[in-house]
Structure 1
Amino acid sequence: MIRKNISVDEILTQFNNRSKLSSLISKYVQLSPRGNSFVGKCPFHNEKTPSFNVNDDKGLFYCFGCKVGGNAITFISKYKNLSFSESIKFLADMLGIEISYENKEQLKKKNNKLFVYKLINDFFKKSLEKNKNALNYANLRIKNKQLISDFEIGFCPDDNELINFLKSEGLSIEEIQETDLLIKNRKNQFFGRFKDRLIFPIFSFSNKVVGFGGREINENSRIKYINSQESQIFKKSELLFGFKQNSEVIRKEKKIILVEGYMDVISLAQSEIRFAVASLGTTLSKTQIQKMWNYSDTPLICFDGDDAGRKSSKNIALKCLEFLVPGKSFKFIKLPEGFDPDTFLKKYSKKKFFELMQSSYNLSDLVWQIILESIDKPTPENIALLDQKIKLLSSKISNRIVSDEYFKFFIKKKNDYLWNLNLKKKKTVHTTEKVQELINEKLVLVFLIFEIELTRHFNEEVSEAILGNKDLNSFKDALFKRNIIEKKKIDLDYLVNNTEYSKQILAEIESLNKTHLKGLNIEEKRVLLRHILDNLKIPILKKEAAVIKKKILEAEDDEKQSAQVNKYNEILKEIKIIQNKELE
């Protein structure tokens, strides 16, 4: 039977990734924040003035009174009076930490690989300085030279140079193969995984190099980025690229932005935004979620402004529901179509990016959007489906308090959605009635824009026509002047892009052209315009008839009254002719 040993560093790393020391100790000691630390009365000796300090950044506690200090294991061991192994088991049971047990051979191999990766990282950095092409590429993409040093960017030369270096450090061929830097091809030959690529070292939360990312610089490969493959030390789900370099600002500002790739992190750093990290993929693990929550109550997600980026954001939104607790959430930055953080900052500014941050979406709003997108139309069956989705996604949240609040939030959203649908229907009916009332007026505008030559044959009638709506009448007069008198031929595109006329009216005019004029021959259009102009006379004639009627009633002279009656009858006759007239 192989004797198992526990890596204390690994246990503490997992604990610090998933929790805070202050969260653990506050279960037993009343702590108060003071600067970047917490203070309280020491549980290991009696004192009146608090001298017990807890530092989450370092994962350590210390009492300035009795001089007792240590880490999470030390605290549990001393406070609970437990042995080392019992303390570890207590932590595992209480926090759900999966403790990794490794035999001595595995531990040795792991530590050797970490040591070798440090050597390789130094070699890559020196190789960048020697390779003019790679250095030019790095300087072109990364204007701030200090960032090349901060992120320890390097270059992987050809296979022979890499192998010779590793041999010079005492590695055998078998050990070189285990570094994951060489890949076997179909001919069973080895070639460099990162050959001729810009290298980004990837650090663990313990600040040890555990893997590499390589960026193609000669555009000879169809694969732009390559990462180390999953291994004993390289586990993407437990890493955040850029955390090592940006951790100081992240801790100070309590902000963190998750982006997709290395260059996004570095591009943000070039714009002096030093609180970005990358997940080395488009998903998030529980470890990564909780690590970010350790430093910010509401981290921001900023993925690319394309279909893949939006899909990944939605997947993350659904993924993190399970882990929500009071006071912890995420917000989502929406980039314009086709942009990533790197290209956005190159075209726009840091100020514009901060504006996007300010207008970011709440997690709850994005999840509601996902729910709403699951139905096509608000039929009774689909409304029932909404209810099912609301129950399902709310129930995914483990914390009962947060789950209940999300359920109430979604129900309110659903009720608001249905209310707005009904309101929209009422507005649509009202708008349709309004359009029908003004259809003749708008058709005159259609002729003035789309049928200019035909309209010239009705110059006098169009000029004298008075539209019932003042805005439409002013629009008619302006079009008549530009298109008929001045012959400038102002079309719809010009009106949309260069005038302040209502976009809704212009859209209705375009629609009326398609529904009423399209398919008619020139004679049919002529008859239609004549009919429209005649109909526009009716309100004017009725108004004139009302005035004459009043004069008839007020007339004192029979002769004058008779003349007014004749006028009145003539107007009524004209109105009747227009109303009874059919299209020729």
Structure 2
Amino acid sequence: MSLPPGFLDELRNRVPISRVIGRKVVWDLRKSNQARGDWWAPCPFHQEKSASFHCDDQKGFYYCFGCQAKGDALTFLRQSEGLEFIEAVRMLATEAGMQMPEPGPRARERTDRRTRLFEVTEAACRWFRLQLQTGAAADARAYLDRRGLDAGTVELFEIGFAPDNRTALTAALREKGFDEALIVEAGMAAKPDSGGAAYDRFRGRIVFPIRDGQGRCIGFGGRAMDPNARAKYLNSPETPLFDKGRNLYNLGPARAAVAKGQTLIVAEGYMDVIALARAGFGAAVAPLGTAITEDQLRLMWRISPEPVIALDGDPAGQRAAQRLVDLALPLTGPGQALRFVMLPSGQDPDDLIKAAGPGAMTELLEQARPLVDVLWARETEGHSFDSPERKAALDRRLHDAIAKIPDELTRRHYTDEIRRKRRELLGGYWQDRKGRQGGRAQASGRPGRRGGGPMPAQAPRPMIALDGPRAAASLLEGACLLICALRPEFVAAHESRLERLLPQDADRAALLHDLLTGDDSAPGRRALESLRADAHLGLTPRLIEAQDRDSAETILTNLLDRLEAQRAAGAEAARAETEIQGDADEGLTWRMQQITRARHRAERPDMEDTGDLNEDRDALQAQLDQFISTEIWRKPPRR
């Protein structure tokens, strides 16, 4: 529906955003400034202890410096409550005491139709629950007793029963005034293709109501009592209310439990969720009879940044985990992770809890494996790698999988972890897409040229003019390579950081390759000689050779810190340049402060980080424009 101009602005002005958010968080009153409407709290969208979630009543805006969630009061309601836009507007209007504008005829008709469909599903839910108390449901009650579901659990989850009668529910709903077309549209009955009267979809089944995040009944799942039934479980069909790929069973209660600190557990079915809830694990959900979809995965992450996928340890559970790996990798990143629990073979959560108690489930949750472990297991378990071709095939599969991760930092950590696992399994090196290797460098340098011995004579290259960040980065990069050539024992400890240098100069790239693999190439030797001859780096050999191991490694570490900080600052400055064309927000300010602080620490490791970088704004801006403009060793050697 369309809203009149100014309606949303008036709505936001009437209700302070802190009042809306305050129902979901506990404000840190030491950090907050209530008089100014400046509020801080631990973020409700990801688990944390520090107050990095900021809310500003004057701007009507919130921002989390941890997970980057941001928006206004309507955005918060939609993210935290799972509401549609108009539903969030309606809820905020009620709180503000404002009358919702009258919808147009078509919008009013759609709203009225959905309201009537909800009335049908709620009436059906009540009817199913009543049927569970009848004589026809004796076998269903006995089954629930065998599964350990007491009367309180049955009541809590509103479990019902659909008798084995073709038209019982349809007739009952028609008696309540619902016409047949509405009953069919709600998914409670089906119309034969050949015509004729509608018939009930659920017959001879234990029925589980499925509710959305607002607690409204959108559909049902039914378990057949007949062991020979064609489908053991049957869900409502797709309707205007029910989309099985975009909802989760037990969504509302699970979200409330996560808000109280519980871990979100994703089980396979309704009975698994109920068993977990009975054992004290209230933050349990399940997909609705299908494999987890992308929409369901995003819905889980709106509840918790790291759900635990609890799957049966049988082959079907293993296959489900492998499919989920492919689904999750293109979506994963900071604040959107998964962990996996594989239950003992032949056991579901109910069996495990009955056999070993809730403590056994808690122990499994504490040992949940990250997504990268499941990826590695999928690609290696049951495989033999006794030939170069098989090893290359493994490398290609892993690279193709990791390449799907959109976040660069996450992708880098995956690469580091896969490299570590590969060495443990096979030894040797990790081959990247361009044929470069990352492996353990030799513990000591080769005699002669790579160890600092005589080199072929070449005319020294001219001194690099340090008149910009790019030249400064080149000098820092050269110093790192030269130190590693002089002290090759440092390569293994700093391998992952060295691989990220990615020199643009072909000779330097060859030298880096030689350092990482222990090779000795002509381009690498040329690069090393050029670095030794550079005027700015001329003192490096004597300086490094005069230091003990710890002092020399400290110099290398500081150079790498400075280089990474300078490159990160350049990337962030470019990003800020595009963002600053719009409205600057707290996120941009915070990122610029963090990158500047990192560069302060890199340039002066002994400097105390006071955390207050606002005292000299001009100096900060100058540092963002240019990282360093002086030589590393201050003075070049005299000729």
1:76 Cα deviation from its structure 2 partner: 7.7
Equivalent-residue separation in structure 2 for 1:239 and 1:287 (angstroms): 8
Q: 1:275-302: CA deviations, max 9, x gaps?
A: 2111123532333223323343321111
Say whether 1:143 aligns with 2:149.
Answer: yes
Deviation at 1:142, TM superposition (A): 3.8
Quote the RMSD (CA, aligned, Å).
4.3
- The equivalent residue for 1:480 is none
Q: After superposition, give the CA deviation of every residue in 1:86-114 in whole Å (9 maximum; x if it has no partner).
A: x99xxxxxxxxxxxx98554443223212
Aligned to 2:159: 153
| Matching residue of 1:240 | 248
1:164 to partner: Cα distance: 2.2
Say whether residues 1:222 and 2:230 are aligned partners: yes
Q: Who is 1:182 aligned against? A: 189
The residue that corresponds to 1:13 in the other structure is none
Give the gaps of 5 or more residues in structure 1. Answer: 7-24, 78-83, 89-100, 422-584
Is the 2:61–2:71 contact (alpha carbons within 8 Å) kept by the matching residues of 1? no
Q: Which residue of 1 aligns with 2:123?
A: 119
Q: Aligned partner of 2:177: which letter?
A: G
Q: Shift of the alpha carbon at 1:66? A: 8.2
Aligned mate of 1:172, from 162, 179, 194: 179
CA displacement 1:231-270 (0-9 Å, x = unmatched): 2221122211122234332221241110110001111122
Q: Distance in 1 between matches of 2:38 and 2:110?
A: 44
- How far residue 271 of structure 1 moved from its aligned partner, in angstroms, is 2.1
CA contact (8 A) 2:338 2:370 kept: yes
Q: What is aligned with 2:369?
A: 361
Structure whose residues are more often helix by fraction: 1
Match of 1:453 in 2: none
Deviations 1:363-384 (A, max 9, x none): 1111111222595433111222
CA distance in 2 between counterparts of 1:210 and 1:142 reads 27
Letter in 2 for 1:36: V
**AA in 1 matched with 2:150:** N
Aligned to 2:133, which of 129, 132, 149? 129
Deviation of 1:72 after TM superposition, in Å, equals 5.5
User: How far apart, CA to CA, are the structure 1 residues paired with 2:270 and 2:34?
Assistant: 51
Residue 418 of structure 2 is matched in structure 1 by 410
Deviation track 1:436-485 (CA, whole Å, cap 9, x = no partner) reads: xxxxxxxxxxxxxxxxxxxxxxxxxxxxxxxxxxxxxxxxxxxxxxxxxx
Shift of the alpha carbon at 1:204? Answer: 0.9
Amino acid at match of 1:377: F
In 1, the alpha carbon distance for the partners of 2:309 and 2:75 equals 35
Residue number in structure 1 paired with 2:404: 396
2:317 matched to 1:309?
A: yes
Q: Write the deviation string for residues 295-353 of structure 1: whole angstroms up to 9, x where unpaired.
A: 43321111122111110011112211112122442111111222222222233322222
Alignment of 1:80-95 (within 5 A): none
SS at match of 1:339: coil
Deviation per CA, 1:196-253, whole angstroms, max 9, x where unpaired? Answer: 2111000111211111000112435232110011222211222111222343322212
Alpha-carbon distance in 2 for matches of 1:5, 1:110: 18
Deviations along 1:166-220, one digit per CA (max 9) or x if unpaired, are: 1122122222222322235676554321112111000111211111000112435
Q: Structure 2: 5+ residue runs without aligned partners? A: 4-15, 46-52, 63-69, 77-84, 90-103, 430-639
1: CA distance, partners of 2:272 / 2:358: 13
Please report how far the alpha carbon of residue 153 of structure 1 lies from its aligned counterpart in structure 2 after TM superposition: 0.9
Name the aligned partner's letter for residue 173 of structure 2: L
Q: Which residue of 1 aligns with 2:583?
A: none
Match of 2:306 in 1: 298
CA distance in 1 between counterparts of 2:210 and 2:361 reads 26
CA positional deviation for 1:56: 4.9
Aligned mates of 1:51, 1:369 — CA distance in 2? 45
Q: Partners in 2 of 1:74 and 1:42 — Cα distance? A: 21
Give 2:25's match in structure 1, choosing from 22, 30, 36: 36
Shift of 1:273: 2.3
Contact 2:170 2:189 in 1 (8 A): no
Alignment deviations for residues 126-164 of structure 1 (CA, whole Å, 9 cap, x no partner) = 222234413343333343321111111111233433122
Rounded to whole Å, the distance in 2 between the matches of 1:349 and 1:279 is 25
| Alpha-carbon distance in structure 2 between the residues aligned to 1:124 and 1:285 | 29
Q: Does 1:325 align with 2:316?
A: no
**Does the C-alpha gap of structure 1 residues 282 and 166 become closer, same or farther in structure 2, counting only changes over 3 Å?**
closer
The aligned counterpart of 1:288 is 296
Instruction: Work out whether 1:382 is the aligned partner of 2:390.
Output: yes
Which residue number in structure 2 is paired with residue 266 of structure 1? 274
Task: Give 1:206's match in structure 2, choosing from 205, 214, 220.
Answer: 214
SS of alignment partner, residue 301 of structure 1:
strand
> In the aligned structure 1, how far is the partner of 2:237 from the partner of 2:268?
18
Q: Are 1:41 and 1:48, in contact at CA under 8 Å, matched by a contact in 2?
A: no
CA distance in 2 between partners of 1:33 and 1:407 (Å): 40
Bigger-Rg structure (1/2): 1
In 2, the alpha carbon distance for the partners of 1:261 and 1:36 equals 31
Gap change, CA 1:255 and 1:63, over 3 Å in 2:
closer
CA contact (8 A) 2:186 2:239 kept: no
Tell me what 1:195 maps to: 203
Which amino acid in structure 2 is aligned with residue 323 of structure 1? L
Identity %: 27
1:348 aligns with 2:337: no
- Given residue 131 of structure 2, which amino acid in structure 1 is its aligned partner? S
Name the SS for the 2:132 alignment partner: helix
* 2:223 counterpart SS class: strand
Matched to 2:334, the amino acid is: P
TM-score (norm 1): 0.56
Shift of residue 53, structure 1, vs aligned partner: 8.2
TM alignment of 1:354-503, pairs within 5 A: 354-373=362-381, 376-419=384-427
Distance 1:206 1:174 in 2: 26
Report matched runs for 1:466-545 at 5 Å. none
User: Any conservation in 1 of the 2:218–2:242 contact (CA below 8 Å)?
Assistant: yes
Q: Which residue of 1 aligns with 2:625?
A: none
Are 2:255 and 2:303, in contact at CA under 8 Å, matched by a contact in 1?
no
Moved more, 253-262 or 380-389: 380-389
Indicate conservation of the 8 Å contact 1:203/1:209, yes or no: yes
TM-score, normalising length: structure 2: 0.51
Aligned match of 2:615: none
